[in-house]
Amino acid sequence: MGNRKSVVSSTPPRICSTGGIFLFASKIVSLYFDLLPIHKMNRICPRYINILNKIDFQKSYTSAAVLGRNLCFKSDLSLDKIYPNSRLKIFTPNPPASTGDKFSGYIPLEKLKITYSRSSGPGGQHVNTVNTKVDLRFKLNEVDWIPEKTKQKLMIGNFLLQLQNKITNEGYYVIKSDLTRSQQLNLADALEKLRSLIREYEIERPPPKEETLEKIRNRQLKSVRERLFLKRQRSQTKMDRQSPSNVDF
């Protein structure tokens, strides 16, 4: 035994299993992490996991996810831990391109004047404490997201006569909604009312027939005659209520 020579391997020792590598790395890094504050540790842990992901281990992503779950100060219910392979970036899609004289349906909220107030009707104390009623208004002659042809249809003709109670003295067209007890749902309802109105006047309607116009004129004349007849009846009724004047026979 005294003549036996110790044989030293020329190759460095290696850790064969993936779990052994992560266990070895975790012990080394944990000594350094114990001295760091929490906000610095949350920045270093993702970088450490990214480095381990670059190593070509078997099931390296799953192992790195488990390692990150144990090292990072995050909840187990965070989205990046529940869905590690999903894209969590939330973005707003671009508005659809305008197609000539066709309304695309896109309404820019930044160009609308939106205010909220108390809703009316039943609902308990919740109605008296939350501003859920939506008041949406805009100037019809200044909007650029409505096709010019449709805008002219809205500004001329019977539009102002039929909806003059919804247009203020400053030229604002007003749409209100208190359909639900949710502010967001009422805003969506007001926007849908506006879309329906624009698309209704965007449809090309054929001109009315001469017979139809004649019927409309006759109905208007009949309505005027009935109104004057009722007015004379009320006037005669008031005159009959008065006491007779003193007449000397």
List of E strands, the chain: 113-118, 131-139, 172-177
User: Which residue is it, tokens 């008296």?
Assistant: 128
- pLDDT of 5 reads 46
For domain 109-202, the CATH architecture is: 2-Layer Sandwich (3.30)
- pLDDT of 171 reads 80
- pLDDT of 246 reads 62
- pLDDT of 53 reads 62
- pLDDT of 64 reads 57
- pLDDT of 187 reads 93
CA-CA distance, 49 to 71, in Å (whole number)? Answer: 10
Inter-CA distances, 143 with 9, 108, 165, 194, Å: 82, 10, 20, 13
CA-CA distance, 148 to 130, in Å (whole number)? Answer: 38
CA-CA distance, 83 to 61, in Å (whole number)? Answer: 12
Domain residue ranges in the chain? 18-82, 109-202
- pLDDT of 143 reads 86
- pLDDT of 233 reads 95
pLDDT tens for 26-51 read: 555 555 555 555 555 556 666 666 66
Q: Give the chain's residues under pLDDT 50.
A: 1-2, 4-18, 59, 157-161
CB 178, CB 121: distance < 8 Å: yes
Judged on CB neighbours under 10 Å (0-12, 13-18, 19+), 188 is middle
DSSP per position, 103-119: --S---GGGSEEEEEEP
**Cβ atoms within 10 Å, residue 45:** 21
- pLDDT of 219 reads 94
